[in-house]
Amino acid sequence: MNQQMYRAAATQHNLEVLASRGLLIWGPDSGSQACGDIGPGRMLDPLTIVDMAVAHFLAPVNDLKHLNIMITAGPTREPLDPVRYISNHSSGKMGFAIAAAAARRGANVTLVSGPVSLPTPPFVNRVDVMTALEMEAAVNASVQQQNIF
């Protein structure tokens, strides 16, 4: 679907009818589309759909409620000059998965992330950094308020 199809009166009417019958509607996402348009109508990211389904169908466990948790994830890049840098192959996937799990269990999660293309998990506060010094500064800025780091 693209933004024109999503915004069409018939589509909006049908979505309203489904919602009035109690159906849960997730999406759409918004952004650039295959046709070149920008706006609502994109499918939600599959990992976002999984997170939403897990949150919807599993009984909420709030055993981490009232805890502040900070997680670091992803690589850092140390510039050698304006063009080159040294980095590592960290994908950040493990840190993002831990952040998502903690947030689902009620924690107030801060995720300090190096440059990755992963979507931010729902209910997670993400701080993007590039270098190790930026990561250290981001951690030091709020580590005193964390229960778990």
What are the residue numbers of the active site? Answer: 35
Query: What distance lies between CA 53 and its chain's CA centroid?
Result: 15
Give me the half-sphere count of Cα atoms (radius 13 Å) on the Cβ side of residue 27. 19
Gap between the Cα atoms of 45 and 21, Å rounded: 25
Number of helices (H), then strands (E), belonging to the chain: the values are 5, 7
Structure-token match 């993002």, residue found:
96
CB-based contacts of 70, cutoff 8 Å, min separation 6: 109, 110, 111, 112, 139, 142, 143, 146, 148, 149
